[in-house]
Amino acid sequence: MVVATGSVPRSRVIPGEYSTSEVVNTQQVLTGEAKTGARILLIDLDGHHQATGTAELLADQGKRVHMLCPALFVGGKLGPLQDLYLTRQRLARKGVTFTPDIAVLGIEGTLAKGLNVYSNQMIDFSGYDTIVLAAGNESCDQLYFALKGKVKELYRIGDCVAPRKTDMAIVEGHRVGRKL
């Protein structure tokens, strides 16, 4: 038996007092589950397409998007994919703005309290209708562990092992498929 139950967005990764309508995750935006306001603050803890793709979609919907990230620049993990330049170019053309080097320490409603990682200056980011989090996922591995020891041949693949990119799920699926 192969378990490939995937993963779900991490919840409450940033402390504070906020409702599920004020702070949503990228998956909720991409599936249409969450409705967002016109002014979006997107907090990029992912550095990959999860954040930049969601920002691009929101900008295409006419939303004003500003992105924060603790790294040197938004989309930093896109460099090895040779997609950083084109992604940043598209986002800039669509009016998406960025503030790098900000570690968000807390959220109160739709106010994000950030710390500049170099100057240690606290900065409030306010005036947004919705905050969108690109904060990674956590494994859905409950079924695997419930079956472990009860099923003769049991494998898990993809995000059920650990949230990663698609290429690893393909490799693991191929490997297990060859074993079976």
Residue type, 121: Q
The percent of residues in the chain predicted with pLDDT above 70, rounded, is: 100
Q: Tell me, yes or no, if the pTM score tops 0.85.
A: yes
- Same-domain status, 60 and 104: yes
- Same-domain status, 109 and 174: no
Confirm if 57 and 30 have CB atoms less than 8 A apart. yes
Q: 7-11, 35-39, 63-67, 141-145: which has the minimum mean pLDDT?
A: 7-11
Q: What is the CATH number of the domain that holds 132?
A: 3.50.50.60
Residue 55 gets the label, from left (phi > 0), alpha (psi -120 to 50) or beta, of alpha
Confirm if 83 and 50 have CB atoms less than 8 A apart. no
Choosing from 102, 118, 136, the residue where a domain stops is: 136
- Same-domain status, 70 and 143: no
- Position 56 in a domain: yes
- Mean of all residue pLDDT scores within the chain: 93
- Same-domain status, 128 and 39: yes
Measured CA to CA, the distance from residue 10 to residue 165 in angstroms comes to 16
Measured CA to CA, the distance from residue 51 to residue 45 in angstroms comes to 8
- Position 2 in a domain: no
- Position 164 in a domain: yes
Whether 58 shows a pLDDT value over 80: the answer reads: yes
User: Average pLDDT for residues 52-79, to the nearest whole number?
Assistant: 94
Q: Which residue range is the domain that position 168 belongs to?
A: 139-179
Residue type, 26: T
- Same-domain status, 82 and 149: no
> Phi, psi (5° rounding) for residue 156?
-130, 145
- Provide the pLDDT confidence category of residue 20 given band limits of 50, 70 and 90: confident
b (16+ CB within 10 A) / e for 115-133? beeeeeeeeebeebebbbb
Whether 81 shows a pLDDT value over 80: the answer reads: no
- Same-domain status, 39 and 17: yes
Residue 168 confidence (pLDDT): 83
Residue 79 confidence (pLDDT): 80
Choosing from 104, 120, 136, the residue where a domain stops is: 136
